[in-house]
Structure 1
């Protein structure tokens, strides 16, 4: 949100957008029931902050200031609208219910004292396609742009924009309520909610070294804790929390002081967060004892193989390859197969993995995914086929705009070219 000349107030607005957007929008959707109005008034509130905070100073509680400004803007717009009087009465009723009224909805929502998680369950209604559920939640809750969400799904921006529009229209026309469903209906929405949290975490985790680690990924971990408490009998909710903690533990070593990406095998493992590793490992061990494995538990087990190795050379790559095989059975996807090929390349050598990667390339299911040519380049480099590796590194560079990734690939390209 900040421009080329960033003032302290503009920086505060930028941080508030990352920290508070989801809460502001979720609160407005709860009190107005209108998704588009909520997003538009939230945007107006942040624009107002950009105008007034440089003059008046940053408020002590930016989130509360923004929520009030957005609610006031919504009230003003509804007063001017033909249907505003009825909507304002509805807002007053919803506010009273949220602040302590009684009734079935209030009892149901009391299990999840967080507007963002309520919004997540609303977006993840089974009337919507799974991908639409995830995309809508990322757009509304996390404030991710349509382009960012399209990248996560490996589709075009226009395609994703249409999906988001259709999902909002369906929620409006079907009058899907803003609430957490009763306990017996929670399981049918769980897969989408877990997928949202994982994509939210990944969007933050992939941020460069300059990003605050407590932003998107920290919010995903917080919501995952709430969800695990809400659904203590759902192993995958606990498995996802363990996975996030084990990944996030490695964050401090992922970038060097210049902001360049540090490969896993070169990371300083003394910088990994031992507390997060201990918590994530304990959660994983406890949930695996239930004997109901799922994709997030398997991914957490893979992460635990990495965090449990004192040195890169101690990594149990055969076990990781076997776990990716199990993951491919539980949740088949070309990305999982690519990761399995990487593990096989580490366990058995690059010659064993290269045919698997080339088969994925020929199938075309990962077209436009920069990690496919990047993995192929690494295998070719290790096989001594430097000219082919250089070409593959160039292919990968053409497919990514992420600066730390580009600098890493450029370093590798320079090595094989030399």
Structure 2
């Protein structure tokens, strides 16, 4: 008879093992089942039931030597059982799927832990990020199916009810099936056309977690996805560049707020508390790039900040040059805004204000709080504290979150004080 005092620790250990296995195995299982059955709901349900079964059995039976393979077996058997119980009119489809499951997943069940299943997971990511789906649907579907984030948490991130998000996810899956969107990774020129969209979804997912009021776990999931893409697409530079960019930005996560929860500007953060292991990994990734894409230039800019020992040691001329290259490669109002700020620090506030005026000329940045804050900062550095304070207050009125509003009002008070 087992010792009842050991049950608690054993159950906790089993839960930890299931969670660790799920992080790697869940998207692999879902992807494999979608590939052979074409049924997204069935694939997710069977993968989730496998995890529930693991939590029920592992505390007493012990954690298997190959947890991912065990979960794959249970999920596959559950899918086989569901398909065998399907209605008669689906017999032909059922039989084909049963044959495919029996033939296609045996090697996956036996595969040792840590061996990548590149094709299925890439297919899943590219299918979730298909341009036929609206961008919010792509992000939500990627969170749910690839990252296994609960629907409730996705709904909270998108500020909708859980039932609304459930309907959106269902519509997205239905559209994939009804439109005959292929479950595959494009090749040749099509890959070059689709990859930027996939990377954009991953980066948008990262910003959902990195923003002041975002869900931190989403940033971690985005980094995991970027790492997966980089490992599964070694011939593509931009996935590695995106991973480097996310690592560099996320390396500052512990210092972005003070003890009271207020935002801490970059120039006031304690750089000794940055995640220097992540910074080193990102720098190594950048050193191996062979081509210069938009994420590569953004990552190089982030690296200039992350590797500087102090604000005064930041190489603003290098940053300004990187923004020049990025603006030529992928012009946008936000890139123009950031380029103006960089030139303002590299060549003086007058230069920055001139470029900022050009970036705002078409009206795309009107009412954008960061554009107002950039103008305020450059104006303060040019010596007009009163005007800068007014601009900071205007930016605060447009801020998207309360924590950003307070930070901008603090800057307004500092600018006003400096003007006296």
Same fold (TM over 0.5): yes
Partner residue in 2 for 1:321? 320
Distance (Å, rounded) in 2 between the aligned partners of 1:214 and 1:133: 16
Distance 1:258 1:115, change over 3 A: farther
Is 1:201 matched up with 2:203? Answer: no
Please identify the structure whose Cα radius of gyration is greater: 2
Residues 150-176 of structure 1: CA distance to partner in whole angstroms, max 9, x if unpaired?
A: 99xxxxxxxx99998886555323433
Shift of 1:340: 1.0
Q: Which runs of 5+ in 2 are unaligned?
A: 1-11, 109-114
Matched, 1:216 2:218: no
Q: Distance in 2 between matches of 1:37 and 1:82?
A: 18
1:99 aligns with 2:113: no
Q: Contact 1:224/1:240 (CA < 8 Å) preserved in 2?
A: no
Specify the alignment match of 1:299 in structure 2: 298
Q: Does 1:344 align with 2:343?
A: yes
Deviations 1:256-276 (A, max 9, x none): 334332211112122223333
**What is the alpha-carbon distance in structure 2 between the residues aligned to residue 72 and residue 172 of structure 1?**
23
Alpha-carbon shift at residue 83 of structure 1 (Å): 5.3
Q: Specify whether residues 282 and 220 from structure 1 end up closer, same or farther in structure 2 by C-alpha distance, changes over 3 A only.
A: same
Distance (whole Å) between structure 2 residues aligned to residue 307 and residue 35 of structure 1: 41
Q: Which residue of 1 aligns with 2:3?
A: none
Write the distance in 2 (CA, Å) between the matches of 1:64 and 1:204. Answer: 31
Distance in 2 (alpha carbons) for counterparts of 1:176 and 1:283: 33
Q: Which has the higher contact order (CA 8 A, sep 6+)?
A: 1
**2-structure distance, mates of 1:212, 1:244:** 13
Contact 1:30 1:115 in 2 (8 A): yes
Between the aligned partners of 1:339 and 1:99, the Cα distance in structure 2 is 49
Mapped contact 1:201–1:220 kept (Cα < 8 A)? no
Sort the Cα spacing of 1:32 and 1:255 in 2 relative to 1 into closer, same or farther, 3 A. farther
Q: Work out the CA distance in 1 between the residues paired with 2:105 and 2:179.
A: 27
**1:76 CA displacement:** 8.4
1:363 aligns with 2:362: yes
Structure 1 residues without counterparts, runs of 5 or longer = 1-7, 103-109, 152-159
Residue in structure 2 matched with residue 107 of structure 1 by the alignment: none
Contact 1:197/1:223 (CA < 8 Å) preserved in 2? no
Deviations along 1:245-264, one digit per CA (max 9) or x if unpaired, are 33333333333334332211
Q: State the TM-score, normalizing by the size of structure 2.
A: 0.68
**Maintained 8 Å contact 1:227/1:237:** no
Alpha-carbon distance change, 76 to 96 in structure 1, aligned in 2, over 3 angstroms:
closer
2: CA distance, partners of 1:257 / 1:189 = 42
Q: 1:60/1:389 Cα in 2 relative to 1: closer, same or farther (>3 Å)?
A: farther
With over 3 angstroms needed to count, the CA separation of the structure-2 counterparts of 1:84 and 1:112, relative to structure 1, is same
Match of 1:335 in 2: 334
Could you say which residue in structure 2 is the equivalent of 1:278?
A: 280
Residue by residue, what CA displacement relative to the aligned partner does 1:288-309 show, whole Å, maximum 9, x if unpaired?
Answer: xx3x321111112112211231
TM-aligned CA distance change 1:90 to 1:247, over 3 Å: farther
Q: Residues 377 and 392 of structure 1 are in contact (CA less than 8 Å); yes or no, is this contact kept in structure 2?
A: no
Equivalence for 1:236: 238
Structure 2 CA distance for partners of 1:75 and 1:208, relative to 1, 3 Å: farther
Partner of 1:400: 401
* Aligned equivalents of 1:237, 1:297: Cα separation in 2: 9
CA 319–26 in structure 1, closer or farther in 2 if over 3 Å, else same: same
In the alignment, the residues of structure 2 paired with residue 212 and residue 375 of structure 1 have an alpha-carbon distance, to the nearest angstrom, of 29
Distance 1:268 1:113, change over 3 A: same
Range that drifts further, 304-313 or 69-78: 69-78
C-alpha deviation, 1:212, in angstroms: 5.3
Counterpart for residue 310 of structure 1 = 309
With over 3 angstroms needed to count, the CA separation of the structure-2 counterparts of 1:123 and 1:184, relative to structure 1, is same
SS in 2 for 1:313: coil
Superposed displacement of residue 324, structure 1: 0.8
Cα distance change on mapping 1:359 and 1:23 into 2, 3 Å = farther
